[in-house]
Amino acid sequence: MKTQSLRLGWLALFTIMIATVCPIFAQAQSAATTKAQEADALFQSQKWADAARAYEAITKTEASNGRAWFRLGVALHSLGRYAQAIGAFEKALEISKSPQAMYNLASSYARMNERDQAFEWLKKALNAGFAQVGLLNTDADLASLRGDARFKEILTLADKVTRPCMFSTEHRQFDFWLGEWNVENNGQQAGINNVQSILDGCVIYENWTSARGGTGKSFNFYDTATGKWQQTWVDSTGNVLNLTGEFKENALRFAGETRAKDGSVTMHRLTFFNLGAERIRQLWEQSTDGGKTWNAVWDGTYTRRK
Are residues 75 and 163 part of one domain?
yes
Are residues 270 and 208 part of one domain?
yes
Are residues 140 and 93 part of one domain?
yes
Are residues 148 and 182 part of one domain?
no
- Domain with residue 94: its CATH number is 1.25.40.10
Which amino acid makes up residue 242? N
Q: What is the pLDDT of residue 32?
A: 67
Are residues 275 and 178 part of one domain?
yes
Domain limits for position 159:
2-167
Are residues 196 and 97 part of one domain?
no
Number of domains in the chain: 2
Are residues 256 and 207 part of one domain?
yes
From 140, 167, 194, give the residue that closes a domain. 167
From 167, 195, 211, give the residue that closes a domain. 167
- What does the alpha-carbon distance between residue 302 and residue 289 come to, in Å, rounded to a whole number? 30
- Domain with residue 278: its CATH number is 2.40.128.20
Q: What is the pLDDT of residue 21?
A: 43
Are residues 265 and 294 part of one domain?
yes
Are residues 157 and 87 part of one domain?
yes
Are residues 233 and 300 part of one domain?
yes
Q: Along the 306 residues of the chain, how does pLDDT read in single tens digits?
A: 444 554 445 544 445 444 544 454 444 456 568 889 999 999 999 999 999 999 999 999 999 999 999 999 999 999 999 999 999 999 999 999 999 999 999 999 999 999 999 999 999 999 999 999 999 999 999 999 999 999 999 999 999 999 999 999 999 999 999 999 999 998 899 999 999 999 999 999 999 999 999 999 999 999 999 999 999 999 999 999 999 999 999 999 999 999 999 999 999 999 999 999 999 999 999 999 999 999 999 999 999 998
- What does the alpha-carbon distance between residue 41 and residue 37 come to, in Å, rounded to a whole number? 6
Are residues 200 and 162 part of one domain?
no
From 143, 167, 191, give the residue that closes a domain. 167
Are residues 37 and 119 part of one domain?
yes
